[in-house]
């Protein structure tokens, strides 16, 4: 947690050029996550509102991939690969939790409520 706090403080104190670099890495990670969804799932789930709750669809993994890309090694290729593997990394840190299964269960629950 301390490292995250220091990283945020460093980001806020950095110059405009540094922000552009981080933004480029964020975009690279987001593109990596988008490619992962297209390659592995062969589909994109569109954002929608179900029973008053917003389901982010493909935007959620792109935000996670972008964040992981921004904190990755410091090259655009590393940022893209970090975004590509973002959900896999989360699944490694949280054993027993499969993100795809959680998404499917959530969609099924929301579909049952809307019927």
Domain boundaries, the chain: 2-114
Who's near 53: CB < 8 A, 6+ residues apart? 110
Give the model confidence (pLDDT) of 41-84 as tens digits: 788 888 888 888 888 888 888 888 888 888 777 788 888 888 88
Identify the pLDDT of residue 90.
64
Q: What's the confidence (pLDDT) of residue 103?
A: 63
- pLDDT value of residue 60: 84
Mean pLDDT of all residues belonging to the chain: 76
17 pLDDT exceeds 70?
no
| Tokens (6 digits) for 58 | 């493909």
pLDDT value for 83: 85
Pick the closest to residue 84 from 101, 64, 98 (CA basis): 64
pTM of the model: 0.64
């Amino acid at each position: 947690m301390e490292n995250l706090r220091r990283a945020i403080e460093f980001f806020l104190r950095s110059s405009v050029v540094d922000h552009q670099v981080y933004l480029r890495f964020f975009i690279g990670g987001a593109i990596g996550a988008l490619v992962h969804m297209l390659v592995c799932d062969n589909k994109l789930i569109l954002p929608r509102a179900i029973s008053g709750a917003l389901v982010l669809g493909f935007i959620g993994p792109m935000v996670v991939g972008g964040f992981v890309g921004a904190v990755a090694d410091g090259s655009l290729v590393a940022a893209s690969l970090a975004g590509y593997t973002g959900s896999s990394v989360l699944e490694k840190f949280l054993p027993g939790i499969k993100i795809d299964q959680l998404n499917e269960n959530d969609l099924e629950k929301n579909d049952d409520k809307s019927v």
